[in-house]
Structure 1
Amino acid sequence: MLELRDISKSYGSGRQIFSGLSYALSAGEYVAIMGESGVGKSTLLNLIAGLDAPDAGEILIDGRPMSALDDEAATLLRRRRFGFIFQAFHVLPHLTLVQNVALPLLLNGEPAQAAQRARAMLAAVGLDGRGGDFPRQLSGGEMQRVAIARALVHKPRLILADEPTGNLDPETADEVLDLLRREIKANGASCLLVTHSYAAAASTDRVLELTRHGLHPLAPDAPLRRAR
């Protein structure tokens, strides 16, 4: 589904973030990426999404190199095949919840059943009957539920989640993680979850650590088991 081949990336100053990074994500996998602050976790998601380009190496989606896509083709790929979940939610305040969730369908030229599918997705994340509400009426946990519904409504192949529980209290974070895992599995999507939280990482199928030298299984002495 996703393949990283010998990826390298440096900051503009020339300081290397990581090099020789190779990894293959299979369809249906739910994987956490952990690592120290500044190691490049969010940068890696931006590279995968085609929002930035590696200095060396290749990123392939379903066997097709991202570097072979022009800007328009990369934008269409992101709209149709990717779903994004962010720590800051990025729910649009001037749109109702159903309008927020329906937005990917509208951008993909699927207006006919957009509202119906958006309402069904809101119901799936526990917000049935709230489609006419605005984001200002929601708690942080509810806004993250909307963000998850929006990320999944168009049935993307790949979910990229960047610290999606970072602004939530532990109880709400657990609820959101349970929801995210359930919906990812129900939709048959693959997911990369970037997180500092061992509790969040424990909800995934596999945990990797990002270092300057690539992605590796998390060290055996990490406190992940205690977070489960």
Structure 2
Amino acid sequence: MLEISDLYRRFNGRSVLEAISLRLEPSEYVAITGESGVGKSTLLNLIAGLDRPDRGRLALDGEDYATLGEDALTRLRRDKLGFVFQAFHILPHLTLRQNVTLPLWLKGQGGRRAERQAESLLDAVGLGDRAESWPRELSGGEMQRVAIARALVHQPRLVLADEPTGNLDPTNAARVLKLLGERIRDSGAMGILVTHSPEAAKSADRVLQLTPEGLHG
């Protein structure tokens, strides 16, 4: 379970987020929308542990990580979070199998077992026959499917997606969003999609709007 309570963040004396609260259950997938500049990226960075709130509680499975030290926070991101970005961030010098295996390597898991886990995820996103391909050989939609496989291979508790279809055509965007939602729900993870697109937001179980007054659903 993810619990966010009374979250505040200020920059240069200006309040960006005020009294943000949210609760997610396993297999739940929500979209957060809002106008540009309202603080969607700031909120995602706080949830991801990449920034710290000025006040409030961020708890994953009962552990408040808003006050964790840097080493513990790094371990939490490595072990319990999965990320899908608009720009893919697939490493060009690694094969698709190696890219998807990377989160397992970072956890100290290697060998054939880790490779089989990566291959299983590649198969789940429809790229099982491309494990030895290089990123340069893929389309944008295929790259984003690899990013989803990589985000899920280590069985994270929480998947965070930041405008994951911003660089895709409508057909590939719809395919990627459907896949992302299915994999989050089927794996029992929780998912948060941050997007400015009403169409993308419809792929989630519920849609929340971020405004200067808070988060509304």
- Give the TM-score taking structure 2 as reference length: 0.97
Equivalent residue number for residue 58 of structure 2: 59
Task: For 1:69-88, list aligned pairs within 5 A.
Answer: 69-88=68-87
Q: Distance in 1 between matches of 2:63 and 2:116?
A: 33
Per the alignment, residue 140 of structure 1 pairs with 140
- The match for 1:41 is 40
Alpha-carbon distance between aligned partners in 2 of 1:180 and 1:128, rounded to the nearest angstrom: 17
Mapped partners of 2:172, 2:192: distance in 1 = 20
Q: Does 1:153 align with 2:153?
A: yes
Judge conservation of contact 2:53–2:66 (CA < 8 Å) in 1: no
Which residue number corresponds to residue 131 of structure 2? 131
TM-score of the two chains, using structure 1 as the length reference? 0.92
Q: Report the counterpart of residue 222 of structure 1 in structure 2.
A: none
Instruction: Check conservation: 1:58, 1:67, Cα contact below 8 A.
Output: yes
> What one-letter code is carried by the residue in structure 2 that aligns with 1:152?
L
> Which deviates further from its counterpart, 141-150 or 64-73?
64-73
Q: What do residues 163-191 of structure 1 show as CA deviations (whole Å, max 9, x unaligned)? A: 00011000100010111111112211110
- Secondary structure of 2:50's aligned partner: coil
Aligned to 2:129, the other structure's residue is in SS state coil
SS in 2 for 1:171: helix
Give SS of 2:101's match: helix
CA distance in 1, matches of 2:13, 2:211: 17
Alpha-carbon distance in structure 1 between the residues aligned to 2:97 and 2:33:
33
Q: Which residue of 2 aligns with 1:105?
A: 104
What 5-or-longer segments of structure 2 have no aligned partner?
A: none
Residues matched between the structures, number:
216
Structure 1: gaps spanning 5 or more residues: 218-228
The answer as to whether partners of 1:21 and 1:213 remain within 8 angstroms in 2 is no
Measured on the aligned residues, the alpha-carbon RMSD in Å equals 1.0
Structure 1 Cα separation of the partners of residues 14 and 67 of structure 2: 27
1:129 Cα shift?
A: 1.4
Note if 1:171 corresponds to 2:171: yes
What is the rounded CA distance, in whole Å, between the counterparts of 1:21 and 1:185 in structure 2? 24
- Partners of 1:86 and 1:15 lie apart in 2 by 27
Q: In the alignment, what sits opposite 1:24?
A: 23
Give 1:226's aligned residue.
Answer: none
Q: Deviations along 1:190-224, whole A, 9 cap, x unmatched? A: 1000011111111110000011222101xxxxxxx
Q: Distance in 2 between matches of 1:214 and 1:42?
A: 14
Residues 62-89 of structure 1, C-alpha deviations (whole Å, 9 max, x = no match)? 1111134211111111111110000000
* Divergent runs of 4+, >6 A: none
Deviations 1:88-126 (A, max 9, x none): 001011111000000001111111311111111111101
**Separation in structure 2 between the aligned mates of residue 177 and residue 78 of structure 1, nearest angstrom:** 23
Determine what percentage of the aligned residue pairs are the same residue: 60
2:205 aligns with 205
- 1:82–1:173 Cα change, 3 Å: same
The alpha carbon displacement at 1:42 in A equals: 1.2
Distance in structure 1 (CA, Å) of the matches to 2:94 and 2:133:
9
